[in-house]
Structure 1
Amino acid sequence: MALLTHLLACVFGMGSWVAINGLWVELPLLVTVLPEQWDLPSYITIVIQMANVGPLFVTLMHRFRPGLLKEVTVIYVVVSVGVVACLLLAFLWSYTSPIAGRPHSTAFLVLTFFLALVDCTSSVTFLPFMMQLQPQYLTTFFIGEGLSGLIPALIALGQGAGISTCANVTQLETRYLPANFSTFFFFLLMTGMMLACLLAFFFLTRQPKMWELSQQQLFPSNIMLSSFDQISDDGAGSQISGGCPCPKDAKQPGDNLPEKVSYPLAKLTLIYLLIGWVSALTNGVLPSVQSYSCLPYGNTAYHLATTLSSMANPLACVVAMVLPGRSLALMGTLTVVGTGFGAYNMAIAVMSPCPLLQQSQWGDATIVLSWVIFTGTLSYVKVMAGVILRSCSHSALVWYGALEQLGSLLGALLMFPLVNVYSFFQSADYCSLQCPA
């Protein structure tokens, strides 16, 4: 029974972000077909930020109308929406319609919004649900969450999406090699993974003995606390304690909470600023220009950069689980390192379509490695920040989420007009480029 529960928790966690991660790794193929082309990543980034209305709505409902939304019901709804959206995407992803006289991939962007709505809402529903189980299953859930990025990346590598060659017809032109399997089949695989998540959740809620045992061990007084209930407690009776400007979580009889750690205001301010900065870079700024940063080196480099950097994120999270760090000096150093590689990626995007080391294997390897290190280091920074703030209070984690979403939103809003309105970044066909030697 314990092994089965671990498996179910892993599959359940895998469904948290698998749909959006699948879209990112499929981009090298999508940009060659959809009319937005190189601008498509910036559209996806802004659509994902719009989908944060989901978690905002859920959080506000639990804050002002506690008990009205049932956590299990919300999870059933959002995962079911994810299954349907993935299935529709398999059939409608290439459908376009004219908007303001230009063709746009309306079906793809609308369905992307619903997938993002599912994944963003999972951040405020999946984890509180898992907090009601025994602690060892929470670790398995995080492993599954890491697989939500790793498995689509492996599938995309096997697909060979967007691999191209230069063919000499009347002049050199880019010819895309056929993928090992179609985008239709890729999205069907994503549908199957979302359906597996739904079934895993169904069976997790159908194990009464496990639930009874977990409730007795975690909540001896039979008081069930969810994250949303704790948010309400924080809002009603927060107080400053020691040097930590985080509201102390209200202690209830039977709570088995770890001892809180106090941090000076200056250190907490630094941590929150780093969270906002890192989130802006990883979720808003750099994803918007990844195509401009990688495609000048060819579709193969773009393909490897998207898939390997998607692998770097969950691997960094696994490393952080095994070797959790609390050093602010290390966090600051990794932030500087990750920002440096992000600055290199941005500089290459600005130089598009004629960046440094073009038509060189060193240039291809450098841009792929830069994206992997950028994603890996800053992912580790975010996990470190979570470890530190978790030891402060639940309210600190609430502010973590708020700063993460704020940073992501500001980054996306900054880049969207630069990419799509002012055309600050230039695209070109890789094979027909006329760049100075």
Structure 2
Amino acid sequence: MLNNHPSQLDTIPTSTNQFHLKAIVYVLVIIFGLGTWTNLGGLWVELPIIVPILPESWQLPAKLILIINAANIFPIIFVFASIIFKLNTSIFEIPVNYIILLTSTALAIAFACLWNKTEYLFGTNQSIYLMYLCFFSAVGDCLSSTTFIPFLHRYEPFYLNAYFTGEALTALLPALLGIIQGIGKSECTMLDSKINGTFIQVYRPPRFSVRTYFLILSSLPIAAFLAFSGLYRMKTGRMEKKISIKKSKHHQSRVFILMDNNIEDMHAIQNTIKTINKIENQLENNKKKNQWTTIITSETVIYLFVTFQQSMMIYGICPGLTTFSLNAYSATTFHYTIIANSFACPLMTLVGTFIPEVSSKTIGAFLITHIGLFVYIVLTAKMSPCPPLVSTILGPAII
């Protein structure tokens, strides 16, 4: 009787091991996502410390954001080149990913060593090395979108959520490190109370330097490199290749007319065929016109325009106004506002996990609110160094 029942002892460990392997792959994908935008995220957290030191001063964020946005042209060139020359980009994904991750590590170390080096150019000192490092970091980060995500298409779809979680952590982890670092403070200390009570200004630096900050930050792309190496060697979680059946692009309906030998009026039949062809052509033209009308007025196009408009404000305009709208309130306000901004992306990623869809009315309400806040930021930058409520507690809290 005992031999008639198959043993279940072998199936339980197998399924358990498979679950553990998938969990390991999920964690590796998260760490792999840390390889992008880490250096630039860390640089933005360090702005309150480096802006008073570098010769560009308050203009530094505007110059950096111009350089970062200029790097966006490279993914466009890559995509168009792959389409025009019909390149099989899957061949380049693995080596390019290794190059991007190694370069990101080298750039983090270079940031630590060269962030405050300047050269005399165009009649003034310029942070040339920082600009170059920022540009090459932006190029690598922008290109990563064209190679990292296509590499993950080899895996089951839910692993893509893990990658976006890792990308969100590239803003969160530098911000947490910035909180630990703190910001320097200037204090007035009495020199000698017995003589004349003279006070001197004493600057207390952060807990660790900008150099140490970037050296610690370089561990993230190193971890991403190791995670990618593990993913490349593991087969767990990858999808099986499916054979795709090609279908004809054109499916035309044919009209068959059965003619009896007794039919005499052939002209009537020919006219009927011409009428049918004319009607089919009119229907085809109307269908094309309706398609364009549907596309232009569709929600997808509207949402794409909203995304463009929001991205223009968030990534194109606001970063350049950062110092002008924040630094006037205080260096502490500048520091913690930048850090709070870094928490926004991971927070919205978490919210999007639990609320994947929202109504169009909710999106409209957020859009109007965002435009109002954007106008206030522009107003504070315009009125700097005397923005609204600058000498009150309410001013820094609002901004």
Q: Given the two structures, how large is their TM-score scaled by the length of structure 2?
A: 0.77
3-state DSSP of counterpart to 2:67: helix
Residues 176-235 of structure 1: CA distance to partner in whole angstroms, max 9, x if unpaired? 531111111111122111111111111110113x2xx6221xx33289xxxxxxxxxxxx
1:50 aligns with 2:94: no
**Structure 1 alignment gaps of length 5 or more:** 224-239, 247-261, 368-437
In structure 1, C-alpha distance between the alignment counterparts of 2:304 and 2:292, rounded to whole Å:
12
User: Counterparts in 2 of 1:336-415, with a 5 A limit?
Assistant: 336-367=368-399
Shift of 1:10: 0.4
CA contact (8 A) 2:118 2:129 kept: yes
* Count of residues in correspondence between the two structures: 330
User: Counterparts in 2 of 1:1-400, with a 5 A limit?
Assistant: 1-65=21-85, 66-67=87-88, 70-161=92-183, 163-165=184-186, 167=188, 176-208=203-235, 210=236, 214-216=238-240, 219-221=241-243, 265-367=297-399
In structure 1, C-alpha distance between the alignment counterparts of 2:292 and 2:67, rounded to whole Å:
34
In structure 1, C-alpha distance between the alignment counterparts of 2:178 and 2:288, rounded to whole Å:
49
Change (3 A) 1:194 1:242: farther
* % identical aligned pairs: 29
3-state DSSP of counterpart to 1:98: strand
Shift of 1:244: 6.6
Change (3 A) 1:44 1:319: same
Cα RMSD over matched residues? 2.6
Aligned to 1:407: none
Shift of 1:135: 2.0
Shift of 1:45: 0.3
In structure 2, C-alpha distance between the alignment counterparts of 1:72 and 1:136, rounded to whole Å:
21
Change (3 A) 1:222 1:178: farther
CA contact (8 A) 2:295 2:301 kept: no
In structure 2, C-alpha distance between the alignment counterparts of 1:358 and 1:81, rounded to whole Å:
42
Residues 311-362 of structure 1: CA distance to partner in whole angstroms, max 9, x if unpaired? 1122112212220124222222211111111111111111100111112221
CA contact (8 A) 1:133 1:215 kept: yes
Matched to 2:179, the amino acid is L
Shift of 1:264: 6.3
In structure 1, C-alpha distance between the alignment counterparts of 2:388 and 2:296, rounded to whole Å:
44
Q: Given the two structures, how large is their TM-score scaled by the length of structure 1?
A: 0.70
Shift of 1:112: 0.7
CA contact (8 A) 2:187 2:204 kept: no
Shift of 1:243: 7.2
Shift of 1:241: 8.8
